[in-house]
Structure 1
Amino acid sequence: MASTSVSKIVSAEPGRVWQLVGGFGSLPDWLPYITGSTLEAGGRRRRLSNPDGDTIVERLVDYDDVRMNYSYAIVEAPFPVVDYLSNLRVYPVTSDPRKAEVQWSGRFVPQGATDDEVVALFTGIYTDGLDALRQTLG
Protein backbone atom coordinates (compact mmCIF):
# COMPACT_ATOMS: atom_id res chain seq x y z
CA MET A 1 0.00 0.00 0.00
CA ALA A 2 1.22 3.49 -0.84
CA SER A 3 0.10 6.86 0.46
CA THR A 4 0.59 10.58 0.09
CA SER A 5 -0.60 13.71 1.84
CA VAL A 6 -0.53 17.40 0.93
CA SER A 7 -1.33 20.24 3.28
CA LYS A 8 -1.68 23.95 2.50
CA ILE A 9 -2.50 27.03 4.52
CA VAL A 10 -5.23 29.18 2.96
CA SER A 11 -6.13 32.76 3.82
CA ALA A 12 -9.74 32.19 4.82
CA GLU A 13 -11.58 31.28 7.99
CA PRO A 14 -11.99 27.51 8.44
CA GLY A 15 -15.79 27.73 8.29
CA ARG A 16 -15.66 29.55 4.96
CA VAL A 17 -13.23 26.98 3.57
CA TRP A 18 -15.43 24.12 4.75
CA GLN A 19 -18.50 25.75 3.15
CA LEU A 20 -16.67 25.54 -0.17
CA VAL A 21 -15.00 22.12 0.06
CA GLY A 22 -17.29 20.32 2.50
CA GLY A 23 -20.09 19.51 0.11
CA PHE A 24 -19.51 16.05 -1.37
CA GLY A 25 -20.73 17.33 -4.74
CA SER A 26 -18.79 20.61 -4.65
CA LEU A 27 -15.51 19.66 -6.38
CA PRO A 28 -16.32 21.60 -9.60
CA ASP A 29 -16.66 24.76 -7.47
CA TRP A 30 -12.94 24.80 -6.70
CA LEU A 31 -11.12 22.00 -8.54
CA PRO A 32 -10.54 22.78 -12.26
CA TYR A 33 -9.70 19.12 -12.99
CA ILE A 34 -13.35 18.24 -12.23
CA THR A 35 -15.88 19.85 -14.54
CA GLY A 36 -19.01 18.06 -13.37
CA SER A 37 -20.37 16.29 -10.31
CA THR A 38 -23.64 14.41 -10.00
CA LEU A 39 -24.68 13.02 -6.64
CA GLU A 40 -26.24 9.56 -6.55
CA ALA A 41 -27.40 7.06 -3.90
CA GLY A 42 -28.87 9.74 -1.68
CA GLY A 43 -25.70 11.85 -1.86
CA ARG A 44 -23.37 9.01 -0.85
CA ARG A 45 -21.89 8.59 -4.35
CA ARG A 46 -20.61 11.18 -6.76
CA ARG A 47 -20.11 10.75 -10.49
CA LEU A 48 -17.39 13.14 -11.61
CA SER A 49 -16.27 14.20 -15.07
CA ASN A 50 -13.02 15.83 -16.13
CA PRO A 51 -11.98 17.82 -19.23
CA ASP A 52 -10.64 14.64 -20.87
CA GLY A 53 -14.11 13.08 -20.78
CA ASP A 54 -13.20 10.54 -18.10
CA THR A 55 -15.70 9.44 -15.46
CA ILE A 56 -14.72 8.99 -11.84
CA VAL A 57 -17.16 7.44 -9.38
CA GLU A 58 -16.51 7.86 -5.68
CA ARG A 59 -18.35 6.68 -2.57
CA LEU A 60 -18.59 8.73 0.62
CA VAL A 61 -17.18 6.64 3.48
CA ASP A 62 -17.32 9.07 6.39
CA TYR A 63 -18.51 12.64 6.86
CA ASP A 64 -18.10 14.86 9.92
CA ASP A 65 -19.39 18.41 9.55
CA VAL A 66 -18.23 19.41 13.04
CA ARG A 67 -14.66 18.19 12.51
CA MET A 68 -14.74 19.54 8.90
CA ASN A 69 -13.63 16.29 7.34
CA TYR A 70 -14.80 13.60 4.95
CA SER A 71 -13.39 10.37 3.53
CA TYR A 72 -14.20 8.73 0.24
CA ALA A 73 -13.27 5.68 -1.79
CA ILE A 74 -12.86 5.38 -5.54
CA VAL A 75 -15.35 2.98 -7.09
CA GLU A 76 -14.39 3.56 -10.74
CA ALA A 77 -11.66 5.73 -12.27
CA PRO A 78 -8.96 5.85 -14.95
CA PHE A 79 -6.24 5.76 -12.28
CA PRO A 80 -3.83 2.82 -11.87
CA VAL A 81 -4.93 2.00 -8.31
CA VAL A 82 -7.22 -0.22 -6.29
CA ASP A 83 -8.34 0.09 -2.67
CA TYR A 84 -8.12 3.90 -2.82
CA LEU A 85 -9.26 5.76 0.29
CA SER A 86 -8.87 9.51 0.63
CA ASN A 87 -9.55 12.14 3.28
CA LEU A 88 -10.13 15.87 2.93
CA ARG A 89 -9.95 17.91 6.12
CA VAL A 90 -9.96 21.55 7.18
CA TYR A 91 -8.14 22.55 10.36
CA PRO A 92 -8.16 25.91 12.14
CA VAL A 93 -4.80 27.65 12.35
CA THR A 94 -4.64 28.45 16.05
CA SER A 95 -2.23 31.36 15.63
CA ASP A 96 -4.53 33.11 13.11
CA PRO A 97 -8.31 32.50 13.07
CA ARG A 98 -8.48 34.07 9.59
CA LYS A 99 -6.52 31.13 8.14
CA ALA A 100 -7.12 27.43 7.72
CA GLU A 101 -4.99 24.42 6.94
CA VAL A 102 -6.44 22.06 4.36
CA GLN A 103 -5.09 18.52 4.20
CA TRP A 104 -5.84 16.12 1.36
CA SER A 105 -4.45 12.64 1.77
CA GLY A 106 -4.89 9.21 0.24
CA ARG A 107 -3.76 5.64 0.48
CA PHE A 108 -4.00 3.11 -2.31
CA VAL A 109 -2.57 0.00 -3.89
CA PRO A 110 -0.89 0.72 -7.25
CA GLN A 111 -1.97 -1.53 -10.10
CA GLY A 112 -0.05 -1.48 -13.36
CA ALA A 113 2.28 1.27 -12.10
CA THR A 114 4.96 1.63 -9.45
CA ASP A 115 4.39 3.06 -6.00
CA ASP A 116 6.52 6.08 -6.93
CA GLU A 117 4.52 6.76 -10.10
CA VAL A 118 1.17 6.63 -8.34
CA VAL A 119 2.36 8.63 -5.34
CA ALA A 120 3.62 11.30 -7.75
CA LEU A 121 0.27 11.26 -9.60
CA PHE A 122 -1.84 11.82 -6.49
CA THR A 123 0.62 14.22 -4.88
CA GLY A 124 0.30 16.30 -8.05
CA ILE A 125 -3.51 16.12 -8.04
CA TYR A 126 -3.70 17.11 -4.37
CA THR A 127 -1.12 19.90 -4.74
CA ASP A 128 -2.76 21.34 -7.87
CA GLY A 129 -6.17 21.04 -6.21
CA LEU A 130 -5.17 22.87 -3.05
CA ASP A 131 -3.40 25.55 -5.09
CA ALA A 132 -6.66 26.00 -7.06
CA LEU A 133 -8.55 26.21 -3.77
CA ARG A 134 -6.24 29.04 -2.66
CA GLN A 135 -6.98 30.90 -5.89
CA THR A 136 -10.72 30.34 -5.58
CA LEU A 137 -10.71 31.72 -2.04
CA GLY A 138 -8.72 34.76 -3.20
Structure 2
Amino acid sequence: MAKVYISGIIDAPVDKVWAYARDFNGHGEWHPLIAKSHVEDGLPSDQVGCVRNFTLTNGGHLRERLLSFSDLERRFTYNIIVSPMPIENYVATFGVKPVTEGNKTFVEWMAEFDVSPADEAGIKEKVGRGTFAEGIKALEKAVTARG
Protein backbone atom coordinates (compact mmCIF):
# COMPACT_ATOMS: atom_id res chain seq x y z
CA MET A 1 0.00 0.00 0.00
CA ALA A 2 1.35 3.41 -0.99
CA LYS A 3 1.17 6.29 1.47
CA VAL A 4 1.38 10.03 0.92
CA TYR A 5 1.58 12.64 3.69
CA ILE A 6 1.86 16.40 3.14
CA SER A 7 1.61 19.13 5.76
CA GLY A 8 1.93 22.88 5.79
CA ILE A 9 1.30 26.04 7.76
CA ILE A 10 -1.29 28.61 6.73
CA ASP A 11 -0.83 32.10 8.13
CA ALA A 12 -4.42 32.47 9.31
CA PRO A 13 -6.43 31.37 12.39
CA VAL A 14 -7.65 27.77 12.38
CA ASP A 15 -11.34 28.71 12.61
CA LYS A 16 -11.02 30.87 9.51
CA VAL A 17 -9.20 28.15 7.56
CA TRP A 18 -11.67 25.45 8.64
CA ALA A 19 -14.67 27.63 7.80
CA TYR A 20 -13.35 27.77 4.25
CA ALA A 21 -11.94 24.24 3.90
CA ARG A 22 -14.76 22.28 5.58
CA ASP A 23 -16.88 22.43 2.42
CA PHE A 24 -16.19 19.03 0.84
CA ASN A 25 -17.25 20.48 -2.51
CA GLY A 26 -15.49 23.83 -2.00
CA HIS A 27 -12.23 22.70 -3.56
CA GLY A 28 -13.56 23.93 -6.91
CA GLU A 29 -13.31 27.46 -5.52
CA TRP A 30 -9.67 27.31 -4.49
CA HIS A 31 -7.79 24.27 -5.83
CA PRO A 32 -5.99 25.04 -9.11
CA LEU A 33 -6.55 21.53 -10.52
CA ILE A 34 -10.36 21.63 -10.28
CA ALA A 35 -12.29 22.93 -13.28
CA LYS A 36 -15.81 22.27 -11.97
CA SER A 37 -17.42 20.29 -9.18
CA HIS A 38 -20.81 19.42 -7.75
CA VAL A 39 -22.27 17.17 -5.06
CA GLU A 40 -24.53 14.51 -6.52
CA ASP A 41 -28.20 14.19 -5.61
CA GLY A 42 -28.34 17.68 -4.06
CA LEU A 43 -26.95 16.47 -0.75
CA PRO A 44 -25.18 18.86 1.65
CA SER A 45 -21.40 18.82 1.24
CA ASP A 46 -20.86 17.93 4.90
CA GLN A 47 -23.19 14.91 4.89
CA VAL A 48 -21.33 11.62 5.27
CA GLY A 49 -22.00 9.56 2.17
CA CYS A 50 -22.32 12.49 -0.22
CA VAL A 51 -20.40 12.18 -3.49
CA ARG A 52 -18.53 15.04 -5.12
CA ASN A 53 -18.26 14.70 -8.87
CA PHE A 54 -15.63 16.86 -10.50
CA THR A 55 -13.57 17.52 -13.58
CA LEU A 56 -9.91 18.48 -13.52
CA THR A 57 -8.42 21.27 -15.59
CA ASN A 58 -6.68 18.57 -17.69
CA GLY A 59 -10.06 16.94 -18.43
CA GLY A 60 -9.77 14.07 -15.93
CA HIS A 61 -12.94 13.03 -14.10
CA LEU A 62 -13.22 11.91 -10.46
CA ARG A 63 -15.93 10.95 -8.02
CA GLU A 64 -15.19 10.91 -4.29
CA ARG A 65 -17.37 9.87 -1.34
CA LEU A 66 -17.25 11.57 2.06
CA LEU A 67 -16.61 8.80 4.62
CA SER A 68 -16.37 10.82 7.84
CA PHE A 69 -16.67 14.46 8.82
CA SER A 70 -16.03 16.24 12.11
CA ASP A 71 -16.29 19.95 12.85
CA LEU A 72 -15.03 19.20 16.36
CA GLU A 73 -11.82 17.59 15.07
CA ARG A 74 -11.74 19.81 11.95
CA ARG A 75 -11.16 16.81 9.74
CA PHE A 76 -12.80 14.77 7.00
CA THR A 77 -12.00 11.50 5.25
CA TYR A 78 -13.02 10.46 1.77
CA ASN A 79 -12.38 7.77 -0.80
CA ILE A 80 -12.13 7.78 -4.57
CA ILE A 81 -14.89 5.96 -6.44
CA VAL A 82 -13.81 6.90 -9.99
CA SER A 83 -10.38 8.15 -11.01
CA PRO A 84 -8.28 8.48 -14.17
CA MET A 85 -5.27 7.30 -12.11
CA PRO A 86 -4.37 3.58 -11.98
CA ILE A 87 -5.14 3.25 -8.25
CA GLU A 88 -7.47 1.27 -6.01
CA ASN A 89 -8.65 1.49 -2.41
CA TYR A 90 -7.76 5.19 -2.16
CA VAL A 91 -8.66 6.76 1.19
CA ALA A 92 -7.56 10.29 2.12
CA THR A 93 -7.92 12.53 5.16
CA PHE A 94 -7.71 16.31 5.31
CA GLY A 95 -7.49 18.13 8.61
CA VAL A 96 -6.44 21.36 10.31
CA LYS A 97 -5.16 22.15 13.82
CA PRO A 98 -4.30 25.39 15.58
CA VAL A 99 -0.71 26.57 15.81
CA THR A 100 -0.93 28.58 19.00
CA GLU A 101 2.24 30.60 18.47
CA GLY A 102 1.32 33.21 15.88
CA ASN A 103 -2.33 32.16 15.53
CA LYS A 104 -1.65 30.07 12.42
CA THR A 105 -3.04 26.78 11.12
CA PHE A 106 -1.32 23.42 10.69
CA VAL A 107 -2.78 21.58 7.69
CA GLU A 108 -2.26 17.91 6.97
CA TRP A 109 -3.46 15.90 4.01
CA MET A 110 -2.72 12.21 3.69
CA ALA A 111 -3.75 9.25 1.57
CA GLU A 112 -3.25 5.51 1.29
CA PHE A 113 -3.96 3.54 -1.87
CA ASP A 114 -3.00 0.49 -3.86
CA VAL A 115 -0.96 1.07 -7.01
CA SER A 116 1.35 -1.06 -9.13
CA PRO A 117 5.06 -0.78 -8.32
CA ALA A 118 5.67 0.60 -11.82
CA ASP A 119 3.22 3.51 -11.24
CA GLU A 120 3.86 4.13 -7.53
CA ALA A 121 6.51 6.88 -7.69
CA GLY A 122 4.64 8.88 -10.32
CA ILE A 123 1.27 8.61 -8.59
CA LYS A 124 2.75 9.51 -5.19
CA GLU A 125 4.31 12.62 -6.75
CA LYS A 126 1.05 13.55 -8.49
CA VAL A 127 -1.02 13.10 -5.33
CA GLY A 128 1.51 14.53 -2.85
CA ARG A 129 3.21 17.45 -4.56
CA GLY A 130 0.77 18.04 -7.41
CA THR A 131 -2.51 17.76 -5.51
CA PHE A 132 -2.00 18.06 -1.75
CA ALA A 133 0.94 20.51 -1.55
CA GLU A 134 -0.43 22.72 -4.32
CA GLY A 135 -3.85 22.56 -2.68
CA ILE A 136 -2.51 23.74 0.68
CA LYS A 137 -0.75 26.68 -1.02
CA ALA A 138 -3.89 27.57 -2.94
CA LEU A 139 -6.05 27.27 0.19
CA GLU A 140 -3.80 29.73 2.02
CA LYS A 141 -4.02 32.15 -0.88
CA ALA A 142 -7.81 31.88 -0.97
CA VAL A 143 -8.23 32.24 2.81
CA THR A 144 -5.89 35.21 3.16
CA ALA A 145 -7.46 36.94 0.13
CA ARG A 146 -10.80 36.90 1.97
CA GLY A 147 -9.31 39.19 4.60
What's the TM-score once normalised by structure 2's chain length? 0.87
Deviation at 1:112, TM superposition (A): 7.6
User: Which sections of structure 2, spanning at least 5 residues, go unmatched?
Assistant: 45-49
Q: Aligned residues: percent identity?
A: 26
Deviation at 1:9, TM superposition (A): 0.3
- Paired residues for 1:1-138 under 5 Å: 1-41=1-41, 42-43=43-44, 44-96=50-102, 98-111=103-116, 113-124=118-129, 125-138=131-144
Q: In structure 2, what is the Cα distance between the partners aligned to 1:113 and 1:46?
A: 29
Residue type at the aligned position of 2:128: T
* RMSD, matched Cα: 1.5
Residues 12-65 of structure 1: CA deviation (Å, up to 9, x unaligned): 111110111111110012101112111124341100111122211000000001
Structure 1 stretch displaced more, 113-122 or 52-61? 113-122
The answer to whether the 8 Å contact 1:73/1:84 transfers is yes
- Size of the aligned set, in residue pairs, is 137
Q: In structure 1, what is the Cα distance between the partners aligned to 2:117 and 2:61?
A: 19
What's the TM-score once normalised by structure 1's chain length? 0.92
Structure 1 stretch displaced more, 115-124 or 54-63? 115-124
User: Which sections of structure 1, spanning at least 5 residues, go unmatched?
Assistant: none
The answer to whether the 8 Å contact 1:80/1:113 transfers is no
Residue type at the aligned position of 2:122: E
